[in-house]
Homo-oligomer: A and B are copies of this chain.
């Protein structure tokens, strides 16, 4: 391995000069800089990460804590992770992948060992066991998702309350008076992952304001589960003409089932999904949807966490505004035509 000392010798300068060329923390004459950079290139030098971390007490690593569950909103998680990795690289950092499995202990370990300079937590629950730790280590951290008490923390998330409201508004404007919501699996609500509950609240609040009837049902992502949920919905509210689907995995089953029952989309019923755009355009009917801006969430999380690494303080709650894209799955309610 090439060391900084060898580069210094090769360029005919001292080690500290090479270091300063690399970090830019002191002015270096153009001539010297050029010579050093040339040596670095010729020797193929890469600074040793451990030495650097030891001397500077900065590892240039961000830890990303992902849920271990592999059954829910996978594409979203994946896209966030990739956005985090990409954005981190743009800030000269790398990403350490932690699974939720280790729980709060992982936070202690990573912080205690100086492995990472900062952490990003995904899939934060309302009352998350990792939060107290995070608050009092004082390490830079950003949550993707919003806990019950975000005080002293930085959070990014899609504004799910507004998302719910937006879906209802869209359907209400089209004249739908009976709306059914296909929610996430019951387990998601039981875990108190805030986004599902906030979406529900947003839906309900706006429905009440607009005088629209709303039925909210959790639903697993399988065909069979969707079939059961749908028939129960139509039993209770035969006049349902609008659907909002939050569970990605339930989208295809729902469309299939509607088709099977001879209900045309969007002529007889309208469907609005809350899902990544890619999912919306790949479905059998191009779906009117509110996008989950996974990429942007990941990107903002890194930007916010980098700001904290650079020393900016203070709590902060950043809600990304929902955007609804009208595609082919929503139209005027039959009665209103």
Contacts and interface: CB of A to CB of B under 8 A. Distances in A.
A182 interface: no
Contacts of A256: 252, 255-256, 259, 284
Determine how many copies of this chain the complex contains: 2
Contacts of A81: 81, 97
A195 to B, nearest CB: 19
Interface of A (DSSP majority class): helix
A153 B54 CA distance: 33
Given A97-B95, A112-B44, A82 B68 contact: yes
Given A252-B252, A256-B284, A97 B85 contact: yes
B59 A49 contact: yes
Interface in A256-301: 256, 259-260, 278, 281-284
Contact of A222 (B82, B109, B249, B282): B282
B95 A96 contact: yes
A283 B78 contact: no
Contact of A54 (B51, B94, B223): B51
Interface in A87-123: 89, 94-99, 101-102, 108-109, 112-115
A79 interface: yes
Interface string A109-151: 1001111000000000000000000000000000000000000
A133 to B, nearest CB: 12
A50 interface: yes
Nearest to A45: B112
B48 A114 contact: yes
19 contacts: A2-B112, A44-B108, A46-B108, A48-B113, A49-B50, A49-B114, A50-B51, A51-B54, A53-B53, A68-B82, A68-B86, A70-B82, A74-B75, A81-B97, A82-B99, A85-B99, A89-B101, A222-B281, A249-B282
Interface of A: 1-2, 44-54, 57, 59, 61, 64, 66, 68, 70-71, 74-75, 77-79, 81-82, 85-86, 89, 94-99, 101-102, 108-109, 112-115, 221-223, 249, 252-253, 255-256, 259-260, 278, 281-284
